[in-house]
């Protein structure tokens, strides 16, 4: 699916506490499509980085579980 949509990606390992699972780091994907892909593959949450912030977001709602905004200097 990622190749069909022409996204550049790398394999990754996602984990929280003692749980881990194979994942993907997808470059150039917008937030809404990342959430939609997470839902499509029954993921609880995604890790997402934009130019303004980075965080962990619940797929069902798109709400931030945790988020940090980047500070400009």
Domain regions of the chain by residue span: 8-64
pLDDT band at 18 (very low <50, low <70, confident <90, very high): confident
pLDDT band at 14 (very low <50, low <70, confident <90, very high): confident
pLDDT value, residue 72: 67
pLDDT value, residue 16: 75
CA 15 – CA 5 distance, rounded (Å): 25
Q: Is the pLDDT of residue 73 over 70?
A: no
- The H-or-E segment that residue 36 falls in is helix 31-40
CA 71 – CA 43 distance, rounded (Å): 29
């Amino acid at each position: 699916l990622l190749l069909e949509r022409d996204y550049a990606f790398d394999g990754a390992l996602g984990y929280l506490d003692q749980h881990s699972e194979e994942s993907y780091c997808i470059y150039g994907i917008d937030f809404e499509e990342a959430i939609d892909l997470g839902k499509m593959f029954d993921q609880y949450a995604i890790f997402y980085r934009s130019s303004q912030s980075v965080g962990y977001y619940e797929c069902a709602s798109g709400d931030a579980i945790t988020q940090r905004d980047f500070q400009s200097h």
